[in-house]
Structure 1
Amino acid sequence: MKKLFTLIVFMLSFSTWSQTKVEGIVVDENDNPIAFANVMFKNSTEGTITNDNGRFYLESDTRYKVLVVSLLGYTPQEIELTKSINYNLSVTLVEGEQLDEVVLYVGKQSKKNNPAVEILKKIWAKKRENGLYKFDQYAYDKYEKIEFDLNTIDSSVIKSKLFKGMEFIFDHTDTSSVTGKTYLPMFINESFYKVYGDNKLKKEKEELLGNKNSGFNTNQTIIAYVNDLYSEYNIYDNYLQLFDKSFVSPLSKTGVDTYNYVLADSAYLGKKWCYKIIYYPRRKNELTFKGQFWVNDTTYAVKEIDMQATKSANINWVKEMYIEQEYEVVNDSVFLLKRDYMLTDFSINKKEKSRGVYGRRTTVYDNHVFDDEKPKSFYDKKIDPFNPLVYDREDEFWENNRLEVLNEDEKGIYKMLDTLTTVPKFKQLYKAAEVLASGYFEFDKLNFDYGPLYSTYGYNPAEGIRVRVGGRTYKTANDQFRLQGYTAYGLNDRKFKYGISAKWLIDRKNRIILSAGTRRDVEQIGVNLTNTNDVLGRSFASSALFTAGANDKLTNINLTTAGLEFEIFKNLKLRGGSSFRTMRSALPEDFSLSYVDLDAPEGVSDVTRQFETYLTLDYQPGRETIGYGVERRDQNDDYAHLFVNYSLGVKGILDSDFNYEKVQFYYRKPWMIGGFGRLQTIFEAGKVFGEVPLSLLDVVPGNQTYFSIFNTFPNLNFYEFVTDTYTSVHLEHNFNGRIFSRIPLIRDLNLRELVGVRGVWGDLSEENKLLNTPANIPLIAPNDKIYWEYSFGIGNIFKVFRIDFNFRGNYFDLPEARRFSVTGSFGFEF
């Protein structure tokens, strides 16, 4: 069967456009793989470099008969290609005299008197003058094609029970032009945009005119995930943001400290004389590439570049990543990006024969127009996030606007995938994957989802074991109306809890949303400084079966809220509403919420009833979303978040107990610090004006679980600090393995180092202390000095685990003060 499959692949290969294909490995006399060896078709500029394991794949539309493999310090080898397709080649390089032709320098190259570095410096000096930066305004057409494919298809895959009843899909296998592996297309998406920009205004507008995909037409989650994977990048930037990581660009000003550069050749590309520069990393395990680029000899604009991520790069689930960019010569001084191709091989591990999924993105740019000035209002005007015509274009539209014609295999994908989605077994597999990803089980005929499944069981001292069932109305991801609810039962307190929430998108253009809900439950209200009126938010009271110390400071809360919000402009929302809540301790013997009440029979009340109105301003610049319904999903997580809240408590309304005002400020911002990793920052501040009970004060968020939860203090117990005025800062930096990659003994483990520092200052007025005298816990605020903690963490343990070692900085004399703690988390990250 394996021989038959090899024959089928061989025959299919002749149907592709390429005329010459070679694949194999380069080794030395001891059979050790040789990395970064030069592999080229003789008398051509077409070539590649072996990867970290000495393997290579190369193909060309031209028929070549000789392959040249060379390396400084070895005798070059010329291999005769008797066939157009040559797989499983093994080339042995013998140490000896190095000839002058086709030379690749290896090892560390000098930064001084290196002609390649001198050319690189001229690229830096000219980069702002090339391409779109030369003009005040610009506009162009943009066509994007994204495809996902199963790769390393062999006879065992074809015969697998998993694909029983779906064997017809294997008629559409093809061979990658980058890796030489056989793959099976599973998803394709095409988009066509008009892009407008103004360099003086620093504004850009992208208008989607057409979108077409097959297999998952209505699944915006998949489309959003695809878009998130393939973010935009610019090779002239010092760092390229790919998969939430900062790769050092080969054209970076810090490149000479990261890469070795060699001036390898010069030749005409089109009508332009260009230099060929080869580059490869100076060290292993860093986020770097290897490859080559051609640069013009007068304008120093890059004409072509290819970049292949090194296998030792500290990135998970990505075995291969390959990028090609081609630039168009407009005139003597202007080069514009014409075509951008990126292939990613997603896999569980980086072994050569491991199976995975190819993600391929091709972007083509054309029809540039310059210096056509448009008013600022043109860029500020909102674009309808969903125009049904965009997703229902006729074939004629695509024939006229595809900037790159689909080949025969790609044309067949649409028909194959449309057929596949009608196969019952595929529907079952797809539905199972959706349940795992969303946590909800869909009942399509009822337009209802059961879940979230992961909240079914919980535990806390008040309820004991807690069982929860719930669901939501769900027709599509773009529903204008969403109703959600749940009920829960505690085996200890033998009480039912419930929650229900409704949201209605009244006006899609201005995103006017009316919401209301009610909830009766047991809650841990001391886990956030900034208020939230989310009725169905996550309950920290039942989030863990194991805690550090007794989680006995729980509150019975009955909350009803209603609000209205609208989007002033993109990502700026104004929200107003009101709420009414009653709160009492769920474990009064251990945790009292009592306060002085002169109108009560005994002068003390243990229940707080409070009506409150609120007005919030929520700004998230740079946020990209998918969907146009009442709920939208984020496409990125690198945006800032600014939140300002004003609350007014009014005594007397619905028998409310207190008058007060509360102001709160929240700011979160992630920062990519070049090649040094990612810094996450949060700043919060707030104040309560007036006298309020403990249930309405601001509690510094402790963390008594064994999970690492950002924006909490892992060495604080719940209610250890209580304030009516506070300022808090949290800093956490992930170096993404930059330090560990330079330590030989642990380098290959691909671990990642994290450091964190957090601090809070707060105060509590004497009036509020007196009001809460009946409380049976100490009311302490960190007003004498700033309370602070620091932590050291190790991430990417077995690719999924993280462990943090947390240290308390001061206030050691407080009761039950925890000087040290260990927390951890589990997750999938690139």
Structure 2
Amino acid sequence: MRRDVANVFSGPFILFTVLMFGLPWLSQAQETTISGKVTDANSGDPIPFANLIFPGTATGATTDFDGNYEIRTTHPGDTLVVSYIGYTPRKKAVVKGKKQVINFQIVENTQSLQEVVVLSGENPAYAILRNVVKNKNKNDKRKMVAYEYDTYTKIEIDVDNITESFRKRKVIQKITQVLDSIDRMAGEDGKPILPILITESVSKVYYRDNPSLRYENILRSKVHGVGIEDGTTVTQLIGSSFQEYNFYQNWVNIVTKDFVSPIADGWRLYYDYDLVDSLYIGDQFCYRLDFTPRSPQDLAFTGSIWITKEGYALKQIDAAVGRQANLNFIEKIKIQQELEPAEGGAWLPVKNRVLIDVSEVTSFSTGLLAKFYTSNKNFVVNKPHDVNFYQLPITMAEDARMNEQEVYWDSLRHEPLTPTEKNVYKMIDTLQTIPMVRTYIDLFKIAVNGYYKVGKIDVGPYISLLAINNIEGVRIQPGFRTNINFSNKWVLGGQLGYGFRDQRIKYTAQVQNILSRQHWTTLTVRARSDLGRVGIDGETAGDNFLLLASQRFGYFRRGYYTQEGRIDFRREVFKGFSQRVGFRYFTFRPTYAFAYYDNPEDLSASTVSQNFESAEMILEARYARDEVFLQSDNDRISLGTTRWPIITVRYTRGFKGLLNSDFDYDKLRLSLFKRIRLGPLGTAYVDLMGEYIFTDIPYPLLGLHLGNQTVLYNSVTYNLMNYGEFVSDRYATLQYRHYFEGLLLNRIPLLRKLKWRLLGTANVIYGGMTPGNRALIAPYTPSGEPTLPVGYFNKGPYVELGYGVENIFRFLRIDFIHRLNYLDHQQQPNVPVRKFGVFISFQFQL
């Protein structure tokens, strides 16, 4: 009996014991834990927001911004599948009940996207997007009074698409050992890449509104690249200022092109949308919308956005531009961004990742991968600094480029380097030790910079080394300048030329002192003895050194020899506003038939002269409110303005009797340059200028408008005007260029694949010459030779209009230009007036 009772209670007791103590242990033993990373097989970059799931179940995960995921489940399948828009799905086997690491490398799907199924009723995505636009002013970071944050930036540039034929080249055979290790870096399914640059920087970024100003202070930087010196230019470029993209703007500027945002005000004109999911991302419940451009050739994105249900803010975005877009040399652009709300309601980006895949220029070359990553933290909002605090857009700490130990950089990084990134540093060190690689690097620098660096001296520029014209014959002109290794305050330079026909020595010598880098201030002294062409000098051509060099070739119809001395003082008084004070003395010795009356009021008693001397002072003020500059060693490079025009006012005063100067005169010039973004209509450039000369002086001192008698198009000149055809002492000019991008030709089926782009141009001059200046022109030289005639406007404005096609074979541009008036203008004998012209030019652009 006792045994029976024991048997009765022993079964339930054992069952109870198993249920209470055994099942948790059993459950833990059967739990499957999978972690890993999803990356792009081509670039090696992580893929955030990718979906992983066990087929036939609801169990899965989504990768974070760095491509990582983790799944814990007691009911796994035996296969895990990863998928993401624009990529081919990939599956791998899973071992149940174990902890394991499964990494995926997935390949981009180049096939066309599936058709969108349109159902009756309104697309549910439209209501969400209307609310996104409605709440832009609340969520856009630009609505904040001010914000600042710490940022870490990392850039890597790699050579990709390395073919077997490329490996067989001599220079590449020298680095075979390095290339052999690339396969190990690429991963099981990745393509081999060759890293050539990796940079890191830590900065403090400040922004304030009203006025809109931005300032970045680069505290630390680390530049490691093949042939890249850790100069100030590279350090400034690797900061976060050039890796910022705000999709709340209607147009996002990337590599000089404007792309329409998927949440632009006119979103419905450019994109198709699909509401595909709703899920929690952190604490935010979000809608996921996939979008595709209505026209694949437009500068628009394909990808996904995650919009918060509360406030309709942009939480995450993954946007890509593919090879179908009307771009040159670009296989893909990919931007991934994660945002978080700040105090005051606006959303600020906490992480950004950008990939630019550059295709091969030729079938014998490789491509490039440029990868940018930024991480932002420690936000402070609505505490603006004084306006003067934002004086310079980018500055660099004096010790920013010190090579700290790796342990120190580990404390600066927001995330540690991956093993692959650590290996990149080692590979770049190996490449830099190969002699042939260093030789190719030197040749590339000469092609880009125009100078060859030899210690503290740069030899060049090569562009002006040789010229051929009718006066000098063959001209050679070597030159040099000192670099920052010589001094960071003094810049010495010079050129020495010789013409084999005129057998004259020409020279230029220049000394510049950089008085201040904070408020960029320079004092420059120059002496020159050279051959010039009337109407073309440093004052009219500005910084267009290519134009100045090209004008030394061909036939000099109005050439002259000159001795010149110049002193220039320039200073940026405050952000965007700079002033210049200059003094210039020069002589004029013509090589052509030129003469003027010394006393035009009494021609019978006046003598006729050919030569003159002039001494003048120049006062100039220039305002470019949002212009961005980079300080490149001892140079300052302008990156142009974003929204505001560049306005320049110049007053020139000539002093008779000073240094034997022959004339008193006054000139006043006003110019305005503006880039206008017109959204879907493309981009326009407007250049307006007006000048008034108050005194009667010989016409070489007046405004001689630049003509062009070549077949090469030049945006600075009037292309159907002959050299020296028109001279003015008062005038207003308009030069207008409009680039339609692919606006019209993208809609024509047979032409869209060619990626041609339409453009339009207009050049207008309204000017004239007073009777007093016309009376100064003598009909004969002192030797009795007839002088070269001078033309002026007397029948209204001069107008030439053009249209053309660019991007032919990706490099060629053809312009068709019509001259609308002064068609019977016989100012120059035996030189016909061209009513129509076809011009070509070569350009390298995206």
TM-score normalized by the length of structure 2: 0.82
Within the candidate set 501, 518, 526, 1:517 is matched to 526
Give the Cα–Cα distance (whole angstroms) in 1 for the partners of residues 305 and 571 of structure 2: 49
**Identical-pair percentage:** 27
Residues 199 and 238 of structure 2 are in contact (CA less than 8 Å); yes or no, is this contact kept in structure 1?
A: no
Q: Which residue of 1 aligns with 2:654?
A: 649
Runs of 4 or more above 6 Å deviation: 21-24, 68-71, 85-93, 174-179, 224-229, 532-537, 598-602
Work out whether residues 215 and 394 of structure 2, in 8 Å CA contact, stay in contact via their aligned partners in 1. no
Structure 1 pair 711/112, CA: closer, same or farther in 2 (3 Å)?
farther
Q: CA separation in 1, counterparts of 2:795 and 2:493? A: 45
Taking a change above 3 Å as real, the CA distance of residues 182 and 290 of structure 1, as seen in their structure-2 partners, is same
Match of 2:843 in 1: 827
| CA displacement at 1:20 relative to structure 2 | 5.6
Of 617, 620, 623, the residue aligned with 1:619 is 623
For the residues of structure 2 that align with 1:501 and 1:749, how far apart are their CA atoms?
Answer: 48
Check the 8 A contact 1:459/1:542 in 2, yes or no.
Answer: no
- The answer to whether the 8 Å contact 2:216/2:393 transfers is no
* 1:632 counterpart residue number: 636
Tell me the residue number matched to 1:260: 272
Indicate yes or no: 2:347 matched with 1:324.
no
Distance change (3 Å), C-alpha of 1:712 and 1:510: same
The superposition leaves residues 11-57 of structure 1 with CA deviations (integer Å, 9 ceiling, x where unpaired) of xxxxxx94567979xxxxxxxxxxxxx99755546599xxxxxxxxx
What residue ranges of structure 2 are gaps of 5+ in the alignment?
1-34, 43-49, 72-77, 95-101, 781-786, 827-831
2:395 is the alignment partner of 1:391: no
Change beyond 3 A, Cα 1:112–1:90:
closer
Indicate whether 1:186 and 2:196 are aligned: yes
- Which has the larger displacement, 189-198 or 522-531? 522-531
Distance, in Å, in 2 between the alignment partners of 1:178 and 1:524 is: 64
Distance 1:537 1:106, change over 3 A: closer
2:711 matched residue in structure 1: 706
Q: Which amino acid aligns with 1:613?
A: M
Moved more, 649-658 or 817-826: 817-826
The residue number in structure 1 matching 2:607 is: 603
Match for residue 765 of structure 1 among 764, 770, 795: 770
CA separation of 1:479 and 1:168: change in aligned 2, threshold 3 A = farther
> For the residues of structure 2 that align with 1:228 and 1:606, how far apart are their CA atoms?
58
Q: Distance in 2 between matches of 1:361 and 1:724?
A: 52
Partner deviation per Cα, 1:686-711 (whole Å, 9 max, x = no partner): 11111100111111221222222113
Q: In structure 2, what is the equivalent of residue 143 of structure 1?
A: 152
User: Residue 501 of structure 1 aligns to which amino acid in structure 2?
Assistant: Q
CA gap of 1:782–1:429, structure 2 versus 1, over 3 A, is same
What does residue 337 of structure 1 align with? 349
Deviation, 1:277, is 0.6
Q: Which residue of 2 aligns with 1:368?
A: 379
Structure 1 SS opposite 2:716: coil
Q: 1:648 to 1:329 in 2, by over 3 A?
A: closer
Give, in whole Å, the separation in 2 of the partners of 1:238 and 1:111: 29
Q: 1:489 aligns with which of 498, 505, 510?
A: 498
Shift in CA distance, 92/200, structure 1 to aligned 2, threshold 3 Å: closer
* CA apart distance, 1:329: 4.9
1:691 pairs with 2:700: no
Q: Does 1:460 align with 2:469?
A: yes
Residue in 2 that maps onto 1:313: 325
Q: In the superposition, relative to structure 1, how do residues 467 and 652 fare at CA in structure 2: closer, same or farther (>3 Å)?
A: same
Q: Aligned equivalents of 2:173 and 2:362: distance in 1?
A: 28
> Which residue pairs with 1:808 in the alignment?
819
Specify whether residues 290 and 19 from structure 1 end up closer, same or farther in structure 2 by C-alpha distance, changes over 3 A only. same
The residue that corresponds to 1:35 in the other structure is none
2:424: which partner in 1? Answer: 413
Q: Number of residues paired by the alignment? A: 768
The offset of 1:153, in angstroms, is: 4.4
The CA deviation at 1:829 is 0.8
User: 1:368 corresponds to which letter in structure 2?
Assistant: F
**Alpha-carbon offset, residue 768 of structure 1:** 0.8
Distance 1:661 1:129 in 2: 54
Counterpart amino acid of 1:798?
F
In 2, are the aligned partners of 1:527 and 1:700 still within 8 Å (CA)? no
Which residue number in structure 1 is paired with residue 19 of structure 2? none
Which residue of the other structure, out of 238, 244, 261, is the alignment partner of 2:256?
Answer: 244
Change over 3 Å in CA distance of 1:563–1:330 after alignment to 2? closer
Cα 1:238–1:614 change in 2 (3 A) is: same
Letter in structure 1 aligned against 2:613? R
Partner Cα distance (2:107, 2:634) in 1: 57
How far did 1:212 drift?
1.5
Provide the rounded CA distance (Å) in 1 between the counterparts of 2:761 and 2:189: 41
Aligned partner letter, 2:523: L
For residues 519 and 317 of structure 2, what CA distance do their matches in structure 1 show?
Answer: 43
For 1:786, which of 780, 797, 803 is the aligned residue? 797
Query: What whole-Å deviation, never above 9, does each CA across 1:551-587 have from its counterpart, x for those lacking one?
Result: 4122222221112222212342211121111113223
In the alignment, what sits opposite 1:14? none
* Whole-Å separation in 2 of the counterparts to 1:110 and 1:676: 32
Q: What CA deviation, in whole Å up to 9, does each residue of 1:505-558 have, x standing for no partner?
A: 13333333111112222222324796478898953674545xxxx641222222
How far 1:88 sits from its partner (Å)? 9.2
Conserved? CA contact 2:218–2:395, under 8 Å: no
Q: Deviations over 1:652-678 (max 9, x none)?
A: 112111111111112211122213222
Q: Which moved more, 1:527-536 or 1:340-349?
A: 527-536
The alpha carbon displacement at 1:759 in A equals: 0.5
Q: Equivalents in 2 of 1:666, 1:544: separation in Å?
A: 29
Aligned to 1:124: 133
1:817 corresponds in structure 2 to 833
Residues 553 and 812 of structure 1, relative CA distance in 2, 3 Å threshold: same
Q: Which SS does the other structure have where 2:635 is aligned?
A: coil
Q: Judging changes above 3 Å, is the alpha-carbon distance between structure 1 residues 637 and 403 closer, same or farther for their aligned structure 2 residues?
A: same
CA distance in 2, matches of 1:212, 1:223: 8
Correspondence for 2:13:
none
Q: How far apart, in 2, do the equivalents of 1:530 and 1:521 lie?
A: 15
1:529-540 mapped onto 2 (5 Å cutoff): 531=540, 539=548
The answer as to whether partners of 2:688 and 2:735 remain within 8 angstroms in 1 is yes
| Distance in 2 between residues matched to 1:644 and 1:576, nearest whole Å | 12
Deviations 1:230-282 (A, max 9, x none): 45321111111111111111111222111110111111222222111111111
Q: Map residues 657-676 of structure 1 onto 2, 5 A cutoff.
A: 657-676=662-681
Measure, in 1, the Cα distance between the counterparts of 2:620 and 2:805: 37
3-state SS of 1:143 partner: strand
Q: 1:483 to 1:89 in 2, by over 3 A?
A: closer
The offset of 1:466, in angstroms, is 2.5
Distance 1:660 1:525, change over 3 A: same
Q: Are 1:275 and 2:287 an aligned pair?
A: yes
2:811 and 2:278 map into 1 onto residues whose CA distance is: 46
Once residues 301 and 430 of structure 1 are traced to their aligned partners in structure 2, the CA distance between those partners, rounded to angstroms, is 47
After superposition, the Cα gap between the structure-2 partners of 1:597 and 1:199, relative to the gap in structure 1 and judged at 3 Å, is closer
Give the Å deviation of 1:284: 2.6
Three-state SS of the structure 1 residue aligned to 2:151 is: strand
- 2-side partners of 1:784 and 1:82: how far apart? 84
Tell me which residue corresponds to 1:65. Answer: 79
Deviation (angstroms), 1:373: 4.3
The CA distance in 2 between the partners of 1:122 and 1:106, in whole Å, is 26
| 1:333–1:663 CA distance, 2 compared to 1 (3 A) | closer
State the AA in 2 paired with 1:632.
Answer: R
User: 1:629-669 deviations in whole A, cap 9, x for unaligned?
Assistant: 54222345757432221111111112111111111112211
Residue 724 (1) aligns with residue 729 (2)? yes
Q: Which secondary structure does the structure 1 equivalent of 2:400 belong to?
A: helix
CA–CA distance in structure 2, aligned partners of residues 208 and 229 of structure 1? 10
Larger Rg: 2
CA contact (8 A) 2:526 2:565 kept: yes
Q: Which moved more, 1:78-87 or 1:620-629?
A: 78-87
Q: Does 1:356 align with 2:367?
A: yes
Match of 1:440 in 2: 451
**Conserved 8 A contact 2:536-2:548:** no
Distance 1:528 1:260, change over 3 A: farther
Evaluate the alpha carbon distance shift between residue 124 and residue 648 of structure 1 in structure 2; reply closer, same or farther with a 3 A threshold.
same
Q: Is the CA contact 1:516–1:562 (under 8 Å) kept in the aligned structure 2?
A: yes
